[in-house]
Structure 1
């Protein structure tokens, strides 16, 4: 592990705990994004994780900035003429060095995304909130660019876990355990922020219940804690994934409108009938 205040992602993902967490997150993302359909899908930050590899949208891109956890040595490529790339207009820079095959890397300020409002169907933020200076503003940008009924997927480290406790202690001593430029954000706080922005929480899942150990052999010894933690203390997993759907007030998806027959007013009937008795003959 590095002795710097902030650990860069490439160094951490090459370590045993880094591979352990990313393997769990990759498996969760593969099962979630495969069932999301549309046209535009974006991953904000963390090129070491291919969040969209199981998604089948025709336009998928990786969006990075200097603070998104991509890598400490990463620098912005030279600015190019703005234009349409991968169907999304107004990009500040385009580069293919860090994106997976058949994907594009877009360089811009994540707090000021250069995309039109309601233009993205799926937005994945793997640990992006932990590297931005203003997580509230980043979530507002996500809400702005997502289409109605668009999906937002957030991954992060759980502050209410053994990993979160070691991270807090490590930052005080100058030896953090996980790479995060800002404080870890609790799962409940993420839920509150999403509700305030009009998102509807679809699912939340915790994982990685082994203790925060740096050596792979020790992590292997505590493999039994995966099943036990998922059953007995699920909210104390080291990592979490949140999936939310953008809801627009007053909008409702309906099927084909069926023509209704006009209802005729019922005829008025007398309250009582009076019969004239037959005359006697």
Structure 2
């Protein structure tokens, strides 16, 4: 949504993007695989810069400079069990059918695949502000409701996604002059470091659990994503067999 993109272009929006990049970087660093997808409500805010996964696609409902695949979150044109790491950036709360969108993300994830859900926390200062603006008809919050971590956890469990970790940041939106903003930023850093559950934005990390499955990095597979297949490992040539005595006899 252009309104959400405009907000992320503001001073507070850029500050939040920096927080999200730092918070998610450590988890992405240990999430390996062949393919990564970010499904976003915006078109220009990739958060996968710290990922070791080489093939990355940015999915959005509208075309944009960073978008490599135009699709809705609740109808992903990706093969089943094909994505190793998936980042959902506000894509659930800005979807008309968030539960179906989560089902689609579960479908395209590989067994033991990583899912990172980023959303606004309704039980925070930012969440209260969003609720008030939504009641007043303010865009982009009009007609939208933030998804709480409790409700999200229930949905994850129903789908067989095991929650690994939940982080929160952006407890106090920065305001005022340079000195006041510096104090607020130190406060936000302290709250994030001590994992206080009052952050304006959460990052929930979950993994797709399938009985009898193994981690993608520990097995060879031929998963497909769009038109790209995982290359098969090249086997070393076998030595020629030694001829037995009498094989070349006339």
TM-score, normalised via structure 2 length: 0.76
> Which of 7, 21, 24 pairs up with 1:26?
21
**Aligned counterpart, 1:39:** 34
> Which of 126, 139, 144 pairs up with 1:163?
126
Distance 1:135 1:59 in 2: 26
- Post-superposition CA distance 1:234-267 (Å, at most 9, x none): 11111110110100134467x9xxxxxxxxxxxx
**Aligned counterpart, 2:229:** none
Q: What's the CA shift for 1:179?
A: 5.5
1:113 match: secondary structure: coil
1:234 match: secondary structure: coil
1:136 match: secondary structure: helix
1:156 match: secondary structure: strand
CA, structure 1 residues 27+230, in 2 after alignment: closer, same or farther (shift >3 Å)? closer
Q: Which has the larger radius of gyration?
A: 1
Structure 2 unmatched ranges of 5 or more? 219-250
> Which of 107, 132, 136 pairs up with 1:173?
136
CA, structure 1 residues 197+181, in 2 after alignment: closer, same or farther (shift >3 Å)? same
CA contact (8 A) 2:134 2:142 kept: no
> Cα RMSD over matched residues?
2.5
TM-score, normalised via structure 1 length: 0.68
1:130 match: secondary structure: coil
CA, structure 1 residues 47+35, in 2 after alignment: closer, same or farther (shift >3 Å)? farther
CA contact (8 A) 1:26 1:49 kept: no
**Aligned counterpart, 2:50:** 54
**Aligned counterpart, 2:241:** none
Distance 1:139 1:251 in 2: 21
Q: What's the CA shift for 1:221?
A: 4.1
Structure 1 residues 232-271: aligned runs within 5 Å: 234-251=196-213
Q: What's the CA shift for 1:112?
A: 1.4
Structure 1 unmatched ranges of 5 or more? 1-5, 67-75, 77-96, 256-281
CA, structure 1 residues 227+9, in 2 after alignment: closer, same or farther (shift >3 Å)? closer
Q: What's the CA shift for 1:44?
A: 0.6
CA contact (8 A) 2:174 2:184 kept: no
Say whether residues 1:197 and 2:193 are aligned partners. no
Say whether residues 1:111 and 2:78 are aligned partners. no
CA contact (8 A) 1:7 1:180 kept: no
Q: What's the CA shift for 1:130?
A: 1.6
**Aligned counterpart, 2:230:** none
